[in-house]
Amino acid sequence: MNAVEAAARAGEAFATYRHESGKTKALFLRRIAENLEANGEAIVAAANEETSLPLPRLHSELGRTTGQLRLFAELVEDGSWVDARIDRANPNRKPPKPDLRSMLRPIGAVAVFGASNFPLAFSVAGGDTASALAAGCPVVVKAHPAHLRTSALAAAAIASAVPEGVFAMIEGVEEGIALVQQPAIKAVGFTGSRRGGQAIMDAAAKRPDPIPVYAEMGSINPVFILPGAMRERGATIATGLQASVTVGVGQFCTNPGLVVTSSHSAFIDELQQRIAATTPAPMLTPGICDAYRAGVERLAATRGVRTLARVDAASGAALFTTDARTFLGDETLMDEVFGPSTIVVECEPSSLLGVARRLEGQLTVTIHGTDDDLVAHRELIDILETKAGRIVFNGFPTGVEVSDAIVHGGPWPATSDGRSSSVGTRAIERWVRAVCWQDCPEAILPEELR
Amino acid sequence: MNAVEAAARAGEAFATYRHESGKTKALFLRRIAENLEANGEAIVAAANEETSLPLPRLHSELGRTTGQLRLFAELVEDGSWVDARIDRANPNRKPPKPDLRSMLRPIGAVAVFGASNFPLAFSVAGGDTASALAAGCPVVVKAHPAHLRTSALAAAAIASAVPEGVFAMIEGVEEGIALVQQPAIKAVGFTGSRRGGQAIMDAAAKRPDPIPVYAEMGSINPVFILPGAMRERGATIATGLQASVTVGVGQFCTNPGLVVTSSHSAFIDELQQRIAATTPAPMLTPGICDAYRAGVERLAATRGVRTLARVDAASGAALFTTDARTFLGDETLMDEVFGPSTIVVECEPSSLLGVARRLEGQLTVTIHGTDDDLVAHRELIDILETKAGRIVFNGFPTGVEVSDAIVHGGPWPATSDGRSSSVGTRAIERWVRAVCWQDCPEAILPEELR
């Protein structure tokens, strides 16, 4: 199916799908999860062949995917997410006060662009699709070219679970842009590169009727290590950091690509040894591996940056170090290198706030600090709050819970819309708008407002 | 003060203002209301001189303005609007589940562009300013040139009620664009023309870090009259419609500029007589009056459009009629004519859905229908729901309540962001983003999440 046809059908399907009850939508979402599980072995095998991701990881990603679908099923079954509000009439007021009732309603058919690094959980049947279907929006997915067979299997699991037209999948970059331009499409979800995200933002902004775009485009997830924590457990932090930098060959959007710390000799020795000892593994695609190698070579060649470790392989882990002055003077040091690489910025206490202020928007920031550290660094924490969607204390940014309180988003350029989350139940809020009924007869009102 | 300085100061003020408690922000908002009331006579007199709006209207607009401020004071005093969410840790899960807590936090300093048609309630101390200050965002207002003295008085009422730097006002079109470009400004509220709104959207999108823009840009607020209602009370509807079209010399964003009906001879006669008998009054500015006259002349000269009434004065009321075929063939008939003018589209039942589908996004749509009409026109109502933020039944769109359930917004081009409302408590949601704290020590958590 092409973009024009898929969008038109989705637009038509919206006319009935938007009226489905929370119970019915929950049924659809659970059916998708069951279908994915029923065909789980084949799906995981296809993803393993297409992405080089190991089987255990893919099995757990499938569990995450079905878990997300069921979380949204529970959310819409409960139904309170629609934020129903009722202001009753007062005919005696002058002028008379009307009856006003409002709630969140689905925005229309939406486009979803699957990610390369989560072929299941952030792809065809991933969080964007689950949250949009839960909101009452038909979905047209543009499949990621790196895992088309996996995508087709996931698409079949969805298509057989929902009414005709409510779901479709298309392929190809040009078809993807055409999809964003279709009048029936009312919002877009995207996970990928900044370049890809910006192309979609441009297409959406140039429509006769611009539409919202939720693009998650990358993040270097800075980790700040404060002096007390460094003294108390520098080596432990180095161990955890190496694991977080290298897990999944560094191919997570929450991968920590920047470390800021004021004193670090024991820490850096430990980290250097551990990064150097990392076993290399294949990356998702040759293109991602090429980009990673180029990024690492760029860092290695940057004036003022020292290479502390570089595992001798295309996708091998890498560790760099520099000082605050170099970091503040070279914006390219904030560019994401997608893969198992990180750079440690050695930073005098007097430069800490300056480095924090210069950071671009991020999905996460992490702070390691003792209680005394944290109290002494309130201003730093305040600045970091304005830079990210999630602030991690004494942990590591990789590993994103799917829950009510999670926020997976952040200010530009981490995402195109820092007000939103693409993970957890807050994600449903991206696909809705508030509508108000004034003096509406009960028979016409949506159930939730009666 | 210029835009650069005002934005920088607002950005600095954000560092402390964002931490003010709901109680403290409520105090500031109530103080602003008290200051406006204390200087009410002078403010209303200045607005009367600058805008030609009559004194009773301005007194009631002042009441609306202080009412809005107090509504937001109550909202932030109550505090539940922050949508606090807590997922508790589970150390026994594998992997261990972290403690996650999230809530809505202020986005940063914001820019507000005052409207011409509400010199108080949608201007310097209007709903955008009140909702942003309530959210925890410092505000820089760009004053509307049509009422600078009124603006200065309102600005003084705010500045003396809030901490240094939390509020500033600037003037001039170029300064306004410069304001949108300042790094410290993180969102924009605007009420005005589509051209003005688009200039601000462009400036915001071209920043190194694009920011959200909430621009309310005009609406023709279609009124659909269904056959049963027309038979039962066509003349009464005509009476109400004339009042709604001409109230405030038609200078409301919810002014009904389009009427769609299938059979209307008694109705149209009544409406024609009433529009023709309307007493003309001066408009807000000579520029608005010129634009109104040009719009009316354009309609009068459009092929297929008949002039049914035109009060002989620059700002006089006007009534036009056309058929569905002409309306569907000429997109300019959907352009807003800001002032007391409306066009009736005579529409066979078979064309009703086609006309509804072709409508652009609106702040409101209105439906007059008996219970039987409404049941028989479910598809029409469904289409209209996708076109507007508020659906009025058997009433008129002018008159916008300030409350919890109100939605004053709508799909493009009524606003730049159809997900939001610029009136009522939902308006605070425009100035926030969700932030999540992971495993954060209690002493560091915001009060609301402890």
User: What ipTM was assigned to the predicted interfaces of this complex?
Assistant: 0.97
Q: Copy the structure tokens of residue A11.
A: 């637009």
- Packing angle of the helix pair B22-38, B40-51 (nearest 10 deg): 70
Q: Which residue blocks in A79-193 are alpha helix, DSSP H? A: 127-135, 148-159, 173-181
Tens-place pLDDT, residues B188-208: 999 999 999 999 999 999 999
* Amino acid (1-letter code) at residue B170: I
* Amino acid (1-letter code) at residue B204: A
User: In the predicted model, is pLDDT for residue B246 greater than 80?
Assistant: yes
| Shortest CA gap A298–chain B (Å) | 23
User: Which residues, including other chains, have CB under 8 Å from residue B170's CB and lie 6 or more apart?
Assistant: B1, B2, B3, B6, B140, B141, B142, B143, B176, B179
CA closest to B437 among chain A residues: A391
* Amino acid (1-letter code) at residue A440: C
| Shortest CA gap B412–chain A (Å) | 6
Query: What value, to the nearest 5°, has the Cα angle with vertex A65 and ends A64 and A69?
Result: 115
CB pair distance less than 8 Å for A108 and B417: no
CB pair distance less than 8 Å for B412 and A209: yes
Rounded CA separation A21/A77 (Å): 8
Closest residue to B386, CB basis, from A101, A108, A406? A108
Residue A253 bears catalytic tag? yes
Identify the band that residue B264 occupies on the pLDDT scale cut at 50, 70 and 90. Answer: confident
Rounded CA separation B329/A47 (Å): 51
Give me the pLDDT at residue A92, please: 95
CB pair distance less than 8 Å for A419 and B434: yes
| Shortest CA gap A144–chain B (Å) | 26
State whether residue A103 is helix, strand or coil.
strand
Closest residue to A101, CB basis, from B87, B386, B405? B405
The per-residue pLDDT string of chain A (450 residues; one tens digit each, 9 = 90 and over) reads: 899 999 999 999 999 999 999 999 999 999 999 999 999 999 999 999 999 999 999 999 999 999 999 999 999 999 999 999 999 999 999 889 999 999 999 999 999 999 999 999 999 999 999 999 999 999 999 999 999 999 999 999 999 999 999 999 999 999 999 999 999 999 999 999 999 999 999 999 999 999 999 999 999 999 999 999 999 999 999 999 999 999 999 999 999 999 999 877 889 999 999 999 999 999 999 999 999 999 999 999 999 999 999 998 899 999 999 999 999 999 999 999 999 999 999 999 999 999 999 999 999 999 999 999 999 999 999 999 999 999 999 999 999 999 999 999 999 999 999 999 999 999 999 999 999 999 999 999 999 999
> Which of A339, A395, A341, A371 is closest to A224 using CA atoms?
A395
Contact (Cβ atoms closer than 8 angstroms) between residue B447 and residue B254: no
- Residue A327 has a CB neighbour count (10 Å cut-off) of 23
CB pair distance less than 8 Å for A426 and B434: yes
| Chain B neighbors of A353, CB-CB under 8 A | none
CB pair distance less than 8 Å for B209 and A404: no
CB pair distance less than 8 Å for B419 and A375: no
Rounded CA separation A132/A428 (Å): 6
| Chain B neighbors of A108, CB-CB under 8 A | 386
CB pair distance less than 8 Å for B101 and A405: yes
Give me the pLDDT at residue B234, please: 95
Tens-place pLDDT, residues B25-83: 999 999 999 999 999 999 999 999 999 999 999 999 999 999 999 999 999 999 999 99
| Chain A neighbors of B86, CB-CB under 8 A | 405
| Chain B neighbors of A399, CB-CB under 8 A | 95
| Chain B neighbors of A405, CB-CB under 8 A | 85-87, 100-102, 436
Which of A436, A448, A450 is best to mutate for the B interface (most B CBs within 10 A)?
A436
Give me the pLDDT at residue B1, please: 87
User: In the predicted model, is pLDDT for residue B265 greater than 90?
Assistant: no
> Which of A235, A298, A304, A307 is closest to A276 using CA atoms?
A307
Give me the pLDDT at residue B114, please: 93
Rounded CA separation A5/A148 (Å): 20
CB pair distance less than 8 Å for A405 and B374: no
CB pair distance less than 8 Å for A444 and B97: no
| Shortest CA gap B439–chain A (Å) | 6
Give me the pLDDT at residue A434, please: 97
User: In the predicted model, is pLDDT for residue B361 greater than 90?
Assistant: yes
Q: Over chain B, what is the mean pLDDT? A: 96
| Shortest CA gap B312–chain A (Å) | 31
Burial track A405-425 (b if 16+ CB lie within 10 A, e otherwise): bbbbbbbbbbbbbbbbbbbbb
Which of B194, B436, B439, B449 is best to mutate for the A interface (most A CBs within 10 A)?
B436
CB pair distance less than 8 Å for B416 and A440: no
| Chain B neighbors of A229, CB-CB under 8 A | none
CA closest to B414 among chain A residues: A209
Give me the pLDDT at residue A313, please: 80
| Chain A neighbors of B441, CB-CB under 8 A | 371, 374, 393
Identify the band that residue B312 occupies on the pLDDT scale cut at 50, 70 and 90. Answer: confident
User: In the predicted model, is pLDDT for residue B313 greater than 90?
Assistant: no
Of the residues A137, A253, A289, A347, which is catalytic? A253
| Chain B neighbors of A432, CB-CB under 8 A | 419
- Packing angle of the helix pair B349-358, B378-385 (nearest 10 deg): 10
Measured in whole angstroms, how far is the alpha carbon of residue B375 from the centre of its chain? 31
Instruction: Using the structure block, give the residue that is written with the tokens 């409510």.
Output: A166
CB pair distance less than 8 Å for A393 and B102: no
Rounded CA separation A143/A310 (Å): 34
Rounded CA separation A36/A152 (Å): 12
CA closest to B401 among chain A residues: A97
| Chain A neighbors of B439, CB-CB under 8 A | 392-395
CB pair distance less than 8 Å for B98 and A401: yes
CA closest to B205 among chain A residues: A205
Per the model's pLDDT, the better-predicted residue between B127 and A263 turns out to be: B127
| Shortest CA gap B98–chain A (Å) | 8
CB pair distance less than 8 Å for B209 and A412: yes
As beta bridge partners, residue B31 has none
Which of B353, B438, B442 is best to mutate for the A interface (most A CBs within 10 A)?
B438
Which of A419, A423, A449 is best to mutate for the B interface (most B CBs within 10 A)?
A419
Q: Copy the structure tokens of residue B99.
A: 């403690």
State whether residue A299 is helix, strand or coil.
helix
Could you tell me how many helices (H) and strands (E) chain A has, helices first?
15, 15
| Shortest CA gap A270–chain B (Å) | 24
Give me the pLDDT at residue A264, please: 75
CB pair distance less than 8 Å for B361 and A15: no
- Classify strands A109-113 and A139-142 as parallel, antiparallel or unpaired: parallel
- Packing angle of the helix pair B55-78, B40-51 (nearest 10 deg): 130
Backbone angles phi, psi at B259, to 5 degrees: -125, 130
CA closest to B83 among chain A residues: A405
Q: Copy the structure tokens of residue B389.
A: 């933020």
| Chain B neighbors of A391, CB-CB under 8 A | 435-438, 440
Instruction: Using the structure block, give the residue that is written with the tokens 């209105």.
Output: B366
Rounded CA separation B19/B8 (Å): 18
